Amino acid sequence: MPANLPPQYYEAERRYRLVKTNQERLAILKEMWAIMPKHKGTDKLQADLKAKISRLKREMQKKTQVGKSTYSHHIAREGAAQVVLLGPSNVGKSQILASLTDASPQVAPYPFTTRDTVVGMMKFENINIQLVDTPPITREYMEPWLSEIIRETDLVLLTADLGRDSLLEDIEAVVRKLEESKIKLVAREPEVKVTQEMRYKRAIVGANKRDLPNANKRLKTLKDVYSDKFPIYSLSATSRAGLDHLKEKIYKALNIIRVYTKSPGKGADRSEPIILKKGSRVIDAARAIHKDFANKLRYARMWGSGKFEGQKVQKDHPLEDGDILEFHI
């Protein structure tokens, strides 16, 4: 029996994917429950929705019990993608997080200021990207719980300090320590994997403190050694030099695209894009709205990368960043 969900349900589901707080999520889940028709065709959907509401309530209750403590190693993913900042002590990871987001990590000139994860949201044009600051990694030690967070993230921002003569050794220590945990940082994931045990994780290098003496000389040395392994971008988190360029490069390294939808006769809402992986097709955009919607899709009209505006395209038509779709079911 088909679910026959009303358009208001799909609209609420779309808003659910965009909100940032658990309070907002819970309110929308309850709204979806109220909108959903209650019949045999929605039995499974009802059960899934009840389970989501219960899990969210438990998570909110747990956070209330621990107060404002950030000592939780589970990070709820928010925004279009997640980027984890890695590096040794005092390279400026926390300052980068503070400069790129609204987060307020502890920033100090002494080692091991960051003892746990700190999360902030980076605004890039019309989307938010989640940044996660982490405890330092040294040749001798890495927090045992950190490897799982790195395995699940979309991108690693490996932070180097252009104020140190030891920056090459510092980066090498982080790379080797991760490999001990079966995580290999790469510019792009290889088509053929040497071993299934190793998790290949895309990474770029943020070379911080470019305004310090001899920073240009150290940057050249860094590029001589590592430019064939990772893209390298210089910046200064304190003066904010290079931050806009870094934000753009982070977005491009994530390999995602933004796709917009419109109703016939109306303009597209560019404030709330659908986020998809590069290489996605029209059917993937429809599926991101809802699987039932995708099943009913006949064709779409596209504005953007098509041969002409409003071109009729089929389900398997490839999409590019900025495309606008008008679905027809």
Task: Give pLDDT tens digits for 258-317.
Answer: 999 998 888 888 888 999 999 999 999 999 888 787 888 999 999 988 778 889 999 999
Kindly list the distances between the CA atom of residue 29 and the CA atoms of 34, 183, 307, in Å, as whole numbers in the listed order: 9, 36, 40
Give the number of residues written for the chain. Answer: 329
Q: With 50 as the cut, is the pLDDT of residue 71 above it?
A: no
pLDDT at 63: 53
Rounded CA-CA distance 117/90 in Å is 15
pLDDT of residue 105: 65
Q: Where in the sequence of the chain do the CATH 3.40.50.300 domains occur?
A: 82-253
pLDDT score at 150: 95
What's the pTM value of the predicted model, to 2 decimals? 0.75
Dihedral of alpha carbons 248, 117, 152, 129, sign: negative
Would strands 256-261 and 274-277 be described as parallel, antiparallel, or unpaired?
antiparallel
Residues 257-329: name the CATH superfamily.
Beta-grasp domain (3.10.20.30)
Q: Taking a C-beta distance cutoff of 8 angstroms, is the pair 228, 290 a contact?
A: no
pLDDT of residue 324: 95
Q: In this predicted model, which residue has the larger pLDDT, 124 or 105?
A: 124
pLDDT digits (tens, 9 = 90+) for 14-40: 888 877 677 778 888 888 888 888 887
Q: How far apart are CA 84 and CA 145, in angstroms?
A: 14
- What pLDDT, in 10s, does the model give residues 139-158? 889 998 999 999 999 999 99
Q: What does the block give as tokens for 249?
A: 């490069």
Given a contact cutoff of 8 angstroms between Cβ atoms, the answer to whether 265 and 279 are in contact is no
Q: What is the pLDDT of residue 62?
A: 61
Percent of the chain surpassing pLDDT 70: 90
Share of the chain above pLDDT 90, in %: 58
CA gap 106, 89 in Å, rounded: 13
- Superfamily for the 82-253 domain: P-loop containing nucleotide triphosphate hydrolases (3.40.50.300)
